[in-house]
Amino acid sequence: MATILLVEDDQFLSSLLKNRLTREGFTVAHADSGPAAIEILKTTRPDLMLLDLILPEKSGFEILEEIKSDPRLQGTKFPVIITSNLGQESDMAKGKDLGVVDYFVKARISIDEIVSKIKNVLASTSARS
């Protein structure tokens, strides 16, 4: 089954997402800060990353930029879905510029919708490979 890297510092939300994704049959790796996410990416290749933007020490945008610039992480291709409380057009545009496949504002989406989107993205990704 697919591995999801969940990068979320809100303990309540990350626990809800992790439990739900695990029940759906996914393997879930969890990072609660930017540096922790980068460390996981150095050893694990997730099938998808669910990424918050406002994180301790390193933002989600900085994580995306580091993936593009760090030679150890370049060439790692996996879809990224942003879940954030930042909902401005400029943030969404920046996410798209950095290659994310979707961007959700946490206050406007349910966990069911997130799980459904993850399944759809993974299905379309595996259909292409």
Reported as a pLDDT band with limits 50, 70 and 90, residue 76 is low
- Tally of domains within the chain: 1
Question: Can you give the residue range of the structural domain that contains 60?
Answer: 3-128
pLDDT tens readout for residues 13-37? 999 999 999 999 999 999 999 999 9
The pTM assigned to this predicted structure is 0.92
pLDDT above 80 (res 86):
yes
Strands (E), 2-127: 3-7, 27-31, 48-51, 80-84, 102-105
C-alpha span between 49 and 24 (Å, rounded): 16
Q: CA-to-CA distance for 74 and 67, rounded, in angstroms?
A: 6
Secondary structure of residue 85 in the 3-state scheme: coil
Of 20, 19, 18, 47, give the one whose Cα is nearest residue 31. Answer: 18
What does residue 104 show for φ and ψ, rounded to 5 degrees?
-120, 140
Closest CA to 55 of 93, 18, 84, 29: 84
Residue 85 pLDDT: 87
The CATH number assigned to the domain holding 75 equals 3.40.50.2300
